[in-house]
């Protein structure tokens, strides 16, 4: 049997692609290869075998090997990228998307349906506050919330329509070197370790933001021709979304009341602010704490001592969190360590990662901007952490965390010398292999990535629906 498509990885990316392409033509023959099973996350079995531990960002703990992929773990926060995320920033060497936001906007409503969302994602300035928000170059934004296991549940509807190989590790592409196309895929059954070869006309790599890159790095070794790493960028320029607790605030106004989710409001800096301050995108979360148990009474006392003349009533306290877009640096990277192999003979990944001063400055400038707005609009007063106010200090490791947004190590671009896939997500040097994953994001913006992954999967299915 020769399939029309072999899809590797049953996460949001792979399943969205399959769902759309079989709806366009139910004659299409598809095989889905998934390392996990239906019962429990196989991460326990794979975690320690594919990554060598990294101290700063424990990326390997932030994914799931299970039908439905990492959306079995996720928070479900959804928001598309902003228009500025697609625009190049030569001043800070940001990698450029090969198209603008309109290309993905074509799939906005379809992606909302896939993720069961209602929000329209328009930037909103509340009438009363719009002046002060504009003065500080701030915009109010919103997230919507999808569900855990939303993709896991798709198993039942796909089970009779396609061949599903659960507990199978995709291992090796067999390439027809004359035609520059992949002929077949070698897979390993995880429990028995028996090998099998399956054939297809086209291949979709949707193994997630880490394992897709690992698969390609490993496959690159099998061929003299540098099929997957001609550009020497494969595995390089990893991005995450650093997520920081930056301080607390006291509030004189009940300014969270109007929001859909009562206790949280989200903001971002305008594009103008980003350009003027030489920073990238970010999002700010003001979370009010209205219950007496968690109220920050120390902060209230401190405030009264610092500002004895301010007699306004403090209604509640809150926390400020900032999520930033990261600047891609080649040194943040994944490479194979051929001396350390997993149970299936695949080399582990040596993951190198650091937060740069640029990333921290983005967090600092963003935090200071929102605290100025709080004060000037008389919403309250913020107390930012010491490292925000003093750039000679470094954040405490308890102040930041990682979302598990694994981006940019198989970048998309028009130039085959500086990217891995083209604007249609096809691997530059092959005719029939495509990647759909956050690993293709040239840059990551500050929105959680899955909405964009789903848009890209829908776009790829639209592009390929007539190819088979
Ligand atoms: C704790 C946590 C919270 C998150 N919260 C959010 C959020 O609120 N909003 C948001 O947008 N994003 C969130 N994310 C990120 C989000 O979960 C991912 O972006 C998304 O699930 C990625 O989907 P994917 O299909 O690209 O990859 P994955 O979901 O990782 O799917 C890849 C699939 O490929 C399989 N696979 C891997 N290697 C192989 C192999 N060799 N052979 C065969 N199969 C293989 C895996 O088993 C897996 O099922 C969160 C992540 C974490 C960890």
Of the pLDDT bands very low, low, confident and very high (cuts 50, 70, 90), residue 179 is very high
Write out the two tokens for 302. Answer: 């401190």
Write out the two tokens for 443. Answer: 């840059």
Of the pLDDT bands very low, low, confident and very high (cuts 50, 70, 90), residue 366 is very high
Alpha-carbon gap, residue 52 to 60, rounded angstroms: 9
pTM: predicted TM-score of the whole model, two decimal places: 0.96
pLDDT of residue 36: 92
Find tokens 């920081």 and name the residue.
244
Using left for φ > 0, alpha for ψ between -120 and 50, and beta otherwise, residue 76 falls in left
Strands 347-352 and 181-189: unpaired
pLDDT for 49 beyond 60: no
- Nearest protein Cα to ligand 1, atom 27: 208
Across the range 373-379, mean pLDDT stands at 93
Q: Could you say which DSSP state residue 1 is in?
A: -
Q: Cα dihedral sign for 73, 78, 80, 85?
A: negative
Q: Which residues of 264-289 are buried (b: 16+ CB within 10 A; e: fewer)?
A: bbbbbbbbebbeebebbbbbbbbbbb
pLDDT of residue 122: 79
Q: Could you say which DSSP state residue 315 is in?
A: -
pLDDT of residue 290: 83
- In angstroms, the Cα distances linking 82 to 54, 101, 105, 110, 446 are 31, 7, 11, 18, 8
- What percent of the chain shows pLDDT beyond 90? 74
pLDDT for 139 beyond 60: yes
In this predicted structure, which of 6-10, 62-66, 112-116, 438-442 has the lowest mean pLDDT?
A: 62-66
pLDDT for 128 beyond 80: no
Of the pLDDT bands very low, low, confident and very high (cuts 50, 70, 90), residue 52 is low
Alpha-carbon gap, residue 205 to 182, rounded angstroms: 12
Alpha-carbon gap, residue 71 to 299, rounded angstroms: 37
- Nearest protein Cα to ligand 1, atom 30: 208
pLDDT for 341 beyond 60: yes
- Nearest protein Cα to ligand 1, atom 13: 74
pLDDT for 23 beyond 60: yes
Answer for the pair 322, 246: CB distance below 8 angstroms, yes or no: yes
Give the chain's domains with CATH numbers.
2-85+93-118+146-239+329-354+404-464 (3.50.50.60), 242-324+356-401 (no CATH)
Of the pLDDT bands very low, low, confident and very high (cuts 50, 70, 90), residue 42 is low
pLDDT for 412 beyond 60: yes
Angle between helix 108-115 and 12-24 (nearest 10): 110
Across the range 210-232, mean pLDDT stands at 92
Residues within a 6 A CB radius of ligand 1:
8-14, 33-36, 62-63, 65-66, 69-71, 73-78, 169-170, 206-208, 211, 215, 403-405, 437-438, 448-450, 453
Q: Which residues of 186-212 are buried (b: 16+ CB within 10 A; e: fewer)?
A: ebbebeeeeeeebebbbbbbbbbbbbb
pLDDT of residue 291: 83
């Amino acid at each position: 049997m020769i399939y029309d498509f072999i899809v590797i990885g049953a996460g949001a990316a792979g399943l969205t692609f399959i769902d759309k392409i079989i709806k366009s033509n139910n004659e299409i023959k598809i095989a889905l290869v998934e390392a996990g099973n239906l019962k429990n996350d196989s991460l326990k079995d794979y975690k320690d075998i594919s990554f060598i531990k990294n101290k700063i960002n424990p990326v390997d703990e932030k994914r799931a090997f299970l039908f439905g992929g990492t959306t079995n773990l996720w928070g479900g926060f959804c928001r598309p990228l902003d228009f500025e995320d697609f625009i190049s920033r030569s001043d800070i060497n940001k990698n450029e998307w090969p198209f603008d936001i309109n290309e993905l906007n074509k799939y906005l409503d379809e992606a909302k349906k896939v993720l069961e969302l209602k929000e329209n994602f328009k930037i909103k300035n509340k009438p009363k506050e719009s002046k002060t928000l504009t003065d500080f170059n701030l915009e109010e934004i919103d997230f919507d919330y999808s569900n855990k296991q939303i993709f896991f549940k798709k198993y039942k509807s796909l089970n009779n329509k396609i061949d599903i190989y659960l507990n199978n590790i995709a291992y090796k592409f067999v390439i027809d070197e004359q035609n520059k196309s992949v002929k077949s895929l070698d897979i390993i059954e995880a429990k028995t370790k028996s090998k099998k070869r399956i054939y297809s006309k086209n291949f979709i790599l949707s193994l997630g933001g880490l394992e897709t890159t690992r698969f390609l790095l490993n496959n690159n070794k099998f061929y003299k021709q540098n099929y997957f790493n001609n550009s020497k960028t494969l595995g390089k320029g990893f991005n995450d979304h650093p997520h920081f607790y930056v301080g607390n605030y006291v509030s004189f106004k009940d300014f969270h009341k109007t929001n859909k989710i009562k206790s949280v409001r989200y903001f971002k800096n305008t594009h103008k602010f980003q350009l003027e301050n030489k920073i990238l995108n970010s999002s700010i979360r003001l979370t009010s704490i209205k219950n007496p148990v968690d109220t920050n009474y120390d902060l209230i006392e401190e405030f009264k001592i610092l500002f004895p003349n301010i007699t306004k009533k403090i209604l509640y306290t809150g926390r400020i969190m900032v999520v930033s877009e990261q600047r891609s640096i080649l040194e943040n990277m994944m490479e194979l360590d051929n001396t350390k192999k997993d149970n299936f003979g695949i080399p582990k990944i040596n993951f190198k990662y650091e937060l740069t001063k640029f990333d921290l400055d983005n967090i600092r400038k963003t935090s200071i901007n929102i605290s100025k707005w709080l004060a000037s609009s008389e919403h309250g007063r913020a107390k930012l952490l010491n490292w925000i106010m003093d750039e000679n200090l470094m954040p405490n490791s308890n102040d930041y965390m990682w979302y598990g947004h694994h981006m940019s190590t198989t970048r998309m671009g028009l130039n085959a010398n500086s990217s891995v896939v083209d604007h249609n997500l096809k691997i530059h040097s092959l005719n029939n292999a495509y990647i759909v994953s956050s690993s293709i994001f040239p840059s990551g913006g500050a929105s959680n990535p899955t909405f964009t992954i789903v848009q890209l999967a829908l776009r790829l299915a639209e592009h390929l629906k007539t190819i088979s």
